[in-house]
Chains A and B, each alone.
Chain A
């Protein structure tokens, strides 16, 4: 058994609101093991980002967070953020400082966390840019973020994230805004970093194809909850949760046989301000019965762990 690094247990996130609480995340747990890559999938509003931001202590003050977050067996503290656990986001522009040169931004985190001197920090910044395969790395050090392409900016963010040799990298939709060939480059880079450094990676995405390429394990979220989790090879080939299965079928893919209209899921994802009773997926589920409308299904272990009263049986 590998050492577990980040342990998120029974995490929930609520926002008080006049018409009743907004339940952004409900009872989310994740035990991240050294060197593995976990993909978290779900449609917008499923709670993916909120769960990870809450785990990192990055939510606004009015968010009500409950649950336990531990790192290496001890409570997670802010000091670990940036050092042991680094995070990158969909839009690198929001995390980069616009008027600061790329070299200075990377160096800033080196001097802050590692107390490197100016010259040493610059040399290390250059080395980091090369590791994330930034072309023309020397010249890039003196450029500003807006002079870089989206793909280059994401590489710079990864370089900053790698500055302190973290054991965990959390990437929230890191390639959603990128062109498909650049997306493939960034994913290949992340897969390489995981392999070569033994770094654990959590990647949030709405694209099951992204998960298939880089993840070992996948968690599916719906209505703020984890509805299925399992090995990628199992979950993406024979999902047990009706939502995972429907999601997989409704995704257009370049290798499908085109032998009928695309599978659809009726209706739309629920608002966390008005979650359906029982299983949040019941208004859209083909397999729903009375019990689904009244009782929430607990996550139960099996070939994949699944929260469903009537999981899809193995064929």
Chain B
């Protein structure tokens, strides 16, 4: 359904009077998403997760590369040509309240995509669709006349999801959609997204820094570091046998509420900090923090490739030393 080839999104960054330099937020990413599949995009801040998601929706202009949507290149389409495609490309953001227009009622917010993309629908039919969707996301129909500020964060996120899902899009992009929520509310929204995906067969690009959430919701995962893909794999494989040193470090750093194991996990923490994306390391971008880095890692960027072992053929990894470590 969605195919991305060697996508690059660079920004010009000016620091003081210095010459502008390109910040390579996304720097050569390939991905594929099949209909009804959920792909998790994970990594730490500045790894390019959100930029990638926004570029896919053409909310940001790609610098280079191809974005094939249902087989058609959309990377160069102008706003007018994109408009009819938007009904199938919807997004839910991190900050639920900020993403809802405060002057519109909940009913108007959820009806808006229907007005734009299904103008033939009469009032009654539109109202019925809005109410059905609100109920589907767990809100009673009497919220229609109320305004976003009257709702809690979790309820606003439900409203945002209702707006995104009311057209039954083929692709739902969730950009840190549960990250700002409290644990008890987060669990409700995670289950809601899982149910909607299953019932509507929606494809999902799930951008998140929370690996435990991604493990629950996604069929496959793509791990990014400084704009580059490190590893991609079916979710079960990635969590059972992470191959890239960065994936391993990332999983090891996720705290688990098990007092028998967590203190030891903490003691084995990956050192170092994310290098500046304006000045990424040569060769493998992860080498400054990688416990396995060798001379060749500084010289050449590793290919993003399947491991030699056929048993690991579903995984792709960017590491020179994959077969040794």
Real complex partners, A and B?
yes
Residues on A lying within 8 angstroms of B by beta carbon are 43-44, 135, 149, 151-152, 179-185, 187-188, 191, 206-214, 232-233, 236-237, 246-248, 250-256, 258, 261-265, 268-269, 284
Q: Which chain B residues (192-220) contact chain A, with CB distance < 8 Å?
A: 194, 209-213, 215-216
For B257, give its contact among A187, A251, A284 (CB under 8 Å). Answer: A251
Question: Can you pick out 9 interface pairs between chain A and chain B where the beta carbons lie within 8 Å of each other?
Answer: A185-B271, A210-B255, A213-B265, A252-B190, A258-B216, A261-B194, A262-B187, A263-B187, A268-B185
What CA separation (Å) do A116 and B223 show in the bound complex?
Answer: 49
Could you tell me if A268 and B154 are in contact, using CB atoms closer than 8 angstroms?
yes
B249 CB within 8 Å of chain A: yes
* Shortest distance from the beta carbon of A42 to any chain B beta carbon, whole Å: 9
A265 / chain B contacts, CB cutoff of 8 Å: 184, 187
B78 / chain A contacts, CB cutoff of 8 Å: none
For A213, give its contact among B194, B255, B270, B274 (CB under 8 Å). Answer: B255
* Shortest distance from the beta carbon of A219 to any chain B beta carbon, whole Å: 15
User: With A152-B273, A246-B184, A252-B190 given, is the CB distance from A187 to B266 under 8 Å?
Assistant: yes
User: With A211-B257, A212-B259, A212-B262 given, is the CB distance from A180 to B44 under 8 Å?
Assistant: yes
Could you tell me if A251 and B273 are in contact, using CB atoms closer than 8 angstroms?
no
Residue among B184, B261, B274 facing the most chain A CB atoms (10 A cut-off): B184
Q: Please count how many residues in chain B sit with their CB below 8 Å of the partner chain's CB atoms.
A: 46
A-B pairs with lowest CB-CB distance, top 6: A209-B255, A179-B44, A208-B257, A250-B187, A212-B262, A43-B182
Could you tell me if A252 and B187 are in contact, using CB atoms closer than 8 angstroms?
yes
A269 / chain B contacts, CB cutoff of 8 Å: 182, 184
Q: Which chain B residues (172-192) contact chain A, with CB distance < 8 Å?
A: 182-188, 190-191
Supply 14 further A-B pairs (C-beta < 8 A) apart from A43-B184, A184-B269: A179-B209, A180-B254, A181-B250, A181-B253, A182-B273, A188-B269, A209-B255, A209-B257, A212-B255, A233-B260, A236-B258, A237-B259, A254-B215, A264-B187
* Shortest distance from the beta carbon of B270 to any chain A beta carbon, whole Å: 5
What CA separation (Å) do A185 and B266 show in the bound complex?
Answer: 8
Q: Which chain B residues (263-309) contact chain A, with CB distance < 8 Å?
A: 263, 265-267, 269-271, 273-274
B35 CB within 8 Å of chain A: no
Could you tell me if B255 and A179 are in contact, using CB atoms closer than 8 angstroms?
no
Could you tell me if B215 and A213 are in contact, using CB atoms closer than 8 angstroms?
no
- Using CB atoms, name the residue of chain B closest to A209: B255
B183 / chain A contacts, CB cutoff of 8 Å: 43, 206, 247, 250-251
B251 CB within 8 Å of chain A: yes
* Shortest distance from the beta carbon of A137 to any chain B beta carbon, whole Å: 14
User: With A252-B215, A253-B256, A268-B154 given, is the CB distance from A209 to B182 under 8 Å?
Assistant: no
What CA separation (Å) do A237 and B256 show in the bound complex?
Answer: 12
Residue among A44, A206, A247, A252 facing the most chain B CB atoms (10 A cut-off): A252
B99 CB within 8 Å of chain A: no
Could you tell me if A264 and B209 are in contact, using CB atoms closer than 8 angstroms?
no
* Shortest distance from the beta carbon of B296 to any chain A beta carbon, whole Å: 24
* Shortest distance from the beta carbon of A16 to any chain B beta carbon, whole Å: 24
- Using CB atoms, name the residue of chain A closest to B194: A261
What CA separation (Å) do A210 and B258 show in the bound complex?
Answer: 10
For B184, give its contact among A184, A250, A256 (CB under 8 Å). Answer: A250
Could you tell me if B263 and A149 are in contact, using CB atoms closer than 8 angstroms?
no
B45 CB within 8 Å of chain A: yes
B152 CB within 8 Å of chain A: yes
Could you tell me if B270 and A258 are in contact, using CB atoms closer than 8 angstroms?
no
Could you tell me if B257 and A254 are in contact, using CB atoms closer than 8 angstroms?
no
B270 / chain A contacts, CB cutoff of 8 Å: 181, 184-185
Could you tell me if A181 and B251 are in contact, using CB atoms closer than 8 angstroms?
no
What CA separation (Å) do A135 and B274 show in the bound complex?
Answer: 13
Could you tell me if B257 and A212 are in contact, using CB atoms closer than 8 angstroms?
yes
- Using CB atoms, name the residue of chain A closest to B249: A181
* Shortest distance from the beta carbon of B241 to any chain A beta carbon, whole Å: 14
What CA separation (Å) do A149 and B44 show in the bound complex?
Answer: 13
What CA separation (Å) do A188 and B250 show in the bound complex?
Answer: 15
What CA separation (Å) do A213 and B45 show in the bound complex?
Answer: 23
B10 CB within 8 Å of chain A: no
A233 / chain B contacts, CB cutoff of 8 Å: 259-260
- Using CB atoms, name the residue of chain B closest to A190: B266
Could you tell me if B215 and A258 are in contact, using CB atoms closer than 8 angstroms?
yes
- Using CB atoms, name the residue of chain A closest to B154: A268
A232 / chain B contacts, CB cutoff of 8 Å: 259
A256 / chain B contacts, CB cutoff of 8 Å: 212
* Shortest distance from the beta carbon of A108 to any chain B beta carbon, whole Å: 25
For A236, give its contact among B187, B250, B259 (CB under 8 Å). Answer: B259
Could you tell me if B262 and A183 are in contact, using CB atoms closer than 8 angstroms?
no
B190 / chain A contacts, CB cutoff of 8 Å: 252, 262
Could you tell me if A209 and B267 are in contact, using CB atoms closer than 8 angstroms?
no
Could you tell me if A247 and B184 are in contact, using CB atoms closer than 8 angstroms?
yes
What CA separation (Å) do A183 and B262 show in the bound complex?
Answer: 13
B152 / chain A contacts, CB cutoff of 8 Å: 268
* Shortest distance from the beta carbon of A104 to any chain B beta carbon, whole Å: 22
What CA separation (Å) do A211 and B186 show in the bound complex?
Answer: 19
Could you tell me if A213 and B262 are in contact, using CB atoms closer than 8 angstroms?
yes
- Using CB atoms, name the residue of chain A closest to B187: A250
B11 CB within 8 Å of chain A: no
